[in-house]
Amino acid sequence: MTYVITNPCVGTCDTACVDVCPTECIHGLIPLEEIRAVPVADRPRVFPKSQLFIDPDECIDCGACLPECPVEAIYEDHSVPEAYEADIDRNAEFFLKRATDSP
């Protein structure tokens, strides 16, 4: 089991989940420093198609991120609502691409 960040995060990019993650397994399409440089209220306008992702190989299933998500976008992989099931694959693809892009 691991956790997955789903579509409600798109444009939100609230990094509160990152702050409580003990394994630092939450990453973004945009570097976290850039996201954090923008006020939370402005992030939907500045990052309309961006979101955060949880690395399934690094996640220890602690659930610390769940209560921190202001848009309730984080689910256990086996509990993702049907409307967001494609997000499971999108999360895996994000980390596969990161692995192949690394030097």
| pLDDT tens digits, one per residue of 73-99 | 999 999 999 999 999 999 988 988 766
Question: Which pLDDT does position 62 carry in this prediction?
Answer: 94
Report which DSSP code applies to 86: H
Bridge partners (DSSP) listed for residue 5:
74
Q: Note the CATH number of domain 3-101.
A: 3.30.70.20
Domain ranges of the chain: 3-101
Question: Which pLDDT does position 24 carry in this prediction?
Answer: 94
Q: What are the φ and ψ backbone dihedral angles of 40, each rounded to 5 degrees?
A: -50, -45
| pLDDT tens digits, one per residue of 24-74 | 999 998 999 999 999 999 999 999 999 999 999 999 999 999 999 999 999
Please tell me the distance from the alpha carbon of residue 4 to that of residue 74, in angstroms, as a whole number. Answer: 6
Please tell me the distance from the alpha carbon of residue 68 to that of residue 14, in angstroms, as a whole number. Answer: 9
